[in-house]
Structure 1
Amino acid sequence: MPTDTSPTSRALLALAELHANPGVTAAGLAATLGVTERAARRYVAILREAGIPVISTRGPYGGYRVGRGVRLPPLVFGADEALALVMAVLDGHHDVRRGADPVGAALDTLLRALPPAVAAQAAVVRRSTAAAPDRAAVRPDPAVTAALVQACADRRPVRVGYRGERGREWGADVDAWAVVVRHGRWYLVCRRHDDAAVRTYRVDRVRTVEPLPGTAQPPPDVDPVALLEQHLAQGWEHDVDVLIEAAVEDVGRELPSGLGSLERVDATTTRLVGTTSSPRWYAQQLVGVPVPFRVVGGPELRACVADVGTRMSAAIDGR
């Protein structure tokens, strides 16, 4: 129940409740504010006098709601919510102790908007905590990311300007289906217009985004995350072929995602097939598989697995 009894604070709380629960009745609003229904109606009248269009609908399904064109109410966070938000940003961003980048500046604005007692703990954590996020993560341009996300939401095709890993720049007209974040990297899952092939592009390598006319409706059963995982394990220069002594269902739960496709051999054997650009990295991923396995294809991967095994044996033998 609110503790501040001033009409202004009650009116602001009423506005926040109208945004959070459109269609709330006078009785529901009164219960939230801890006042009578008559008082709740009075706070609605205060909002209307301030120029906020609060619409009321009569009948058994009626209630109050805020009309269009109204800005969101002031931020209302508890101390635990503010602290959790700062911790989440610290966990996913390189350094937000200073407001030098957009995320740091946004946290500055957020903490300034909160009451001092609520912001104090979050500010201390922000100043004193050293974040250790994924250093391989690459932050894409916010404007480019927003344009791609909007295209996906609007089901609109776009023309993207792209710079490949080796610096070659090219363009493509695509149907934007989804933007997916995986291990600190942002990817666009889309379908090219020229060959109708499904593609995944790293958003940090997209230079420009130009909306195109038409619609870009993805198939009804499309799974963007599954498509991304599938594409990340294809098209690299080194082949992978591994037999794992476990049922395919169990392997799927234990194996890091994105290593390749799983094929059932029999009830107790699964085949892992894919490609990789780094056999040494791939060998290190296989170390975590908690059941016996055998590399049957890919000479580069076999050599790297043998090297990892030799080093692990040396670690216990003392050589």
Structure 2
Amino acid sequence: MTTDTSPTSRALLALAELQANPGLTAAGLAASLGVSERAARRYVALLREAGVPVTSVRGPYGGYRVGRGVRLPPLVFGTDEALGLVMAVLDGHHDVRDRADPVASALDKLLRALPEPVAARAAAVRRATAAAPDRSAARPDPAVTATLVQACADHRPVRVRYRSESGREWDADVDAWAVVVRHGRWYLVCRRRDDEGVRTYRVDRVLAVLPLPGTSAPAPDVDPVALLEEHLAQGWEYGVDVLVEASLDAVARELPGGLGHLEAVDATTTRLVGSTSSPVWYAQQLAAVPVPFRVVGGPELRACVRDVAARLAAAVGVGREPAPPADR
């Protein structure tokens, strides 16, 4: 029970109780506030006069409920909760000092809503922390991301304008199935409507998105993350075909996910088939595999693997002429 007898204070407490306990009866609200049922109904009336959409339902399963459109009550965080939120933002978003950035602006509003002792410690962490950005992470445009997420939720097809890593741009009409975050990158898992092939597009490379009429074809009944992993290396510009000198199980353990489809050739050889928009990146991934491999298909990948091999060999002096003896 609060010691503040202000009707406004009691009305705000009543709002918090109704939001936390939908269906609360007048008797239950009165007990929570430590007032009479008549007073509880009066606080509900004050909320309604202020424009808060409080509805009531009669019967054994009735009670008060707060409808949509109400503004949230003041935020109440403990110090540990506030610091945890700031640290999470710093961990996943590194432009929090740029006041033009939408996440930085939202963090400003959060800190202004907190009590001064709590906000001061959280602000100190924000000022003093130098976050090192994850170079592999790529933050997409919020508006593009929101449109794609909504299309997935509504089972709507969309037209995306896409730019691959090689710089080529194209339009594609797709059935949007899911937006998946993997290792700091956002992906759209979808089906192209022209060839019915499953595609995985980096959302940060989607230049524009246009919702289309109609309904998307249903997504396969599998986990979206598994679907993403399975199709990351499909539908790109440069095909790859690699033989790895290890068993299928060994290659599956050692190979980074998303490089392509694996199939056993025999007990000691595995074939990797896929495609990529960046043969340089693909060659670098293969170079990290601790088993012998041979590129049998994909001239672009073959050239990039040759370049990587030459750089690694040069790093240890392989292929260089011996240096002349120093003058004495």
Corresponding residue number in structure 2 for 1:282: 286
Q: Is the 8 A contact 1:247 1:270 kept in 2?
A: no
- Stretch moving more, 84-93 or 114-123: 114-123
CA distance in 1, matches of 2:108, 2:207: 29
What is the letter of the counterpart of residue 97 of structure 2?
Answer: R
Match in the other structure for 2:178 = 178
SS at match of 1:11: helix
Larger radius of gyration: 2
Instruction: State how 1:202-241 maps to structure 2 within 5 Å.
Output: 202-219=202-219, 221-234=221-234, 237-241=239-243
Cross-structure match for 2:135 = 135
1:153-208 Cα distance to aligned partner (Å, 9 max, x none): 11111111222323332212111111111122211111111111111111112121
Q: Does 1:295 align with 2:292?
A: yes
Using structure 1 for the length normalisation, give the TM-score: 0.77
Structure 1 match to 2:49: 49
CA shift for structure 1 position 19: 2.9
* Deviation of 1:7 (Å): 4.2
CA gap of 1:282–1:120, structure 2 versus 1, over 3 A, is farther
Residue identity opposite 2:272 in structure 1: V
Identical amino acids, percent of aligned pairs: 70
CA contact (8 A) 1:283 1:308 kept: no
Contact 1:244–1:270 under 8 Å retained in 2: yes
> CA shift at 1:48, angstroms?
2.3
CA distance in 1: counterparts of 2:3 and 2:248, whole angstroms: 60
> Structure 1 pair 120/155, CA: closer, same or farther in 2 (3 Å)?
same
- Give, as a single letter, the amino acid of the residue that structure 2 aligns with 1:239: D
The offset of 1:255, in angstroms, is 6.5
Deviation at 1:221, TM superposition (A): 0.2
Aligned residue in 1 for 2:325: none
Deviation at 1:57, TM superposition (A): 1.6
Instruction: Report if aligned partners of 1:262, 1:270 keep a CA contact under 8 Å in 2.
Output: no
Aligned residue type for 1:206: V
Contact (CA 8 Å) 2:160, 2:209: kept in 1 or not?
A: yes
Contact 1:99 1:107 in 2 (8 A): no
Deviations 1:105-162 (CA, angstroms, capped at 9, x unpaired): 1111111122212312211111111112312322211111111111111111111122
- The aligned runs of 1:104-119 (5 Å cut-off) are 104-119=104-119
Q: Is the 8 A contact 2:241 2:271 kept in 1?
A: no
Question: In structure 1, what residue type is equivalent to 2:93?
Answer: H
Return closer, same or farther for 1:191/1:58 CA change in 2, 3 Å cut-off. same
Aligned match of 1:193: 193
1:104 Cα deviation from its structure 2 partner: 0.8
Unaligned 5+ runs, structure 1: 288-293, 313-319
Offset, 1:298: 3.4
Q: Measure the CA separation in 1 of the matches of 2:255 and 2:212.
A: 40
Q: Over aligned residues, Cα RMSD in angstroms?
A: 3.7
Distance in 2 (CA, whole Å) between partners of 1:270 and 1:109 is: 57
Per-residue CA shift, 1:248-277, capped at 9, x if unaligned?
8x966x8653344566899x9995735573
8 Å contact kept, 2:247–2:264: no
- Alignment-derived partner of residue 67 in structure 2: 67
Question: How has the CA–CA distance of structure 1 residues 269 and 169 changed in structure 2, closer, same or farther, with 3 Å as cutoff?
Answer: closer
Instruction: Could you tell me which runs of 5 or more consecutive residues in structure 2 were left unpaired when the two chains were aligned.
Output: 297-301, 317-328
CA distance in 1, matches of 2:287, 2:89: 32
For the residue of structure 2 that corresponds to 1:56, the secondary structure is: strand
Offset of residue 246 of structure 1:
9.2
Structure 2 letter corresponding to 1:283: A
Count of aligned pairs:
301
- Specify the code of the residue in structure 2 equivalent to 1:46: L
